[in-house]
Amino acid sequence: MGISSDFKKWAALFLVAVLLVPLVNLYDAYVTPAKLTRVSGNYELISEICKLSGDISYLIYNAQAYILFSDARYLDKFNEYSVIVLKNENDLINQVNSGTTRNRLQELIGITKEYISFVQDEIAPAIEPGNISSLHREQFESLTAELRSSADAMFSARNEFISSDAKSLVAGEKRLNFISILLVFLSLALLVAGTRKFIYPMLVNYHHLEKLTEFTKDAIAFIDHRGRITGINHVAETLLCLPATQIKNKSLNDIMVLFPTTQHVLQPLFTVILEQKEVLNNQVVFTGGGRKVLLNVDYHPLFYLDKLSGAVMVAHHVETEKNKRYLFDTIEAERKKISIEIHDWIGRAMSPIIHSLDYILRVHREKMPGDVFDDLVKLRAHCQTAAMDMRGIMNDIHPYLIERVGLISALESYVANFEQMHNIRVYLYYQNKKLHLKKEAEIIIYRIVQEALSNVIKHSNATEVDIYFKEENNTLKVEIMDNGQVPEDYAAGKGLWGMKERANLIGGDLVFGGDESGFSVILTVPASTEGDRNEQD
């Protein structure tokens, strides 16, 4: 912008250097009364610390006298001072705000408790008239020295703190003079003179940044820390059907009421403001202006001087639907191939083993020893379990039952196995097993239900799940509700993004939410007039 980088650095450093001296002096003048109050409070605190040191000395004295004379009166006095010392230490720590002193007090409390515990639990039971073991004596002397050292260190630290405050007050008074005031006026003059060198270029840069948001192909919207729209570019106006004149300086809640179709796009901005964390790759199906588009939206918090100043939303139209559909078809075809391979090779190998074991157990039962028979029964059970696990793996890789009996019957089979494995009741509600769906849509819906039930296991303490299928007006709605606790950060992931991705592949939409009754996932997909209805099981 015509201003050299070296000159900017030199001018900024000079301005800071000139401003630093008067600002420090003015700060000293401002905080002097507070420092005087703090010094006064510190003298009161040092008095309490002195009293505590005396109590600790009496505590140590009675412990040493008890060891020396084996007189129970000293032990009684020791127990009495134990209560007094611990009470005074806890009272004192509640009066201290300084991090260093508080840490030292916490350390002193820990050592005191250890010292008292050692005397009561180790010395008192083991003591003999006039004598204790050398090991106990060494430990006692070590703890005594540590306790004295900790108390002395805390007292010395507080004295140094008071001395530092007093010196700071004296130095602050010396700095308040005519030169400080003169430097303040000089710094203000430099600030005015530097306005043309710095403020003007900053305004120009801001203007250029504003223009950049107009030239980009992404939809951009800014909000402040209170959740009010402060700016929106032309792309966002067109893509989201949001007139800038009607929404600027309005809250997000007001905008979502006026333009309800933007709710799924704008809602994550609340999460960004509250948690001050970015939300990336949030895919949303936006319906507005007579069209339905898939958006990929990023949300970023904005900070100024390490404080949250607002957030920005950057959205762009995803135009890779065909590629995603092709990828999905390819993956499912490969999964189907793997599932068939498992069935044809491993399944065919397992079946003869099980039948052979059945034959041996049936025909030769009377001839074989009892322990051999029991081992063969266990082996047969293991093989049967492996076969069932294999079928479960095949079903996870590719839901082959859909091709044989249809979506509802395949889900009934999956749900029965799910209930047995996880002890969670699952209820399927439907008007008819026959649905207008293509095989591709059936597989995707099956996968979404699988993922939803998997989330129930991972992130909920639910005991019951209800799954509703409702078909009307050429639309199928699948609602999955559980009675568990709602995850705190469910909007950030937990498979929900992948479920939305799958729904988008078949032109559907997926929303989720929770309240005190549980968590719900609602999938809405168009029913295909071209697809054949599923046959009854």
Q: Which structure tokens are listed for 268?
A: 């994550």
Q: Which amino acid is at 174?
A: K
pLDDT in tens, 62-117: 888 888 888 888 888 888 888 988 888 888 778 776 667 778 788 888 888 888 88
d(CA 335, CA 142): 70
Express each pLDDT in 443-468 by its tens digit.
Answer: 889 889 988 898 888 888 889 999 99
Q: pLDDT tens-digit profile of 420-435?
A: 888 999 999 998 888 8
Give me the torsion for CA of 481, 483, 489, 491, rounded to 10°: 10
* Strand ranges inside 126-262, DSSP E: 219-224, 229-232
**Whole-angstrom Cα distance, residue 112 to residue 120?**
12
In this structure, the number of other CB atoms found within 10 A of the CB of residue 12 comes to 13
What gap in Å lies between CA 144 and CA 139, rounded to an integer?
9
In terms of Cα–Cα distance, which of 442, 404, 438 is closest to 532?
A: 438
Q: Yes or no: say if 391 and 362 are a contact pair by the CB < 8 Å rule.
A: no
d(CA 537, CA 410): 9
pLDDT tens-digit series, residues 370-402? 888 888 888 888 887 777 666 666 666 656 667
Per DSSP bridges, beta strands 518-526 and 509-515 are antiparallel
Alpha carbon distance 38, 43 (integer Å): 9
pLDDT at 176 over 90: no
User: Using the 8-state DSSP alphabet, how is residue 485 labeled?
Assistant: P
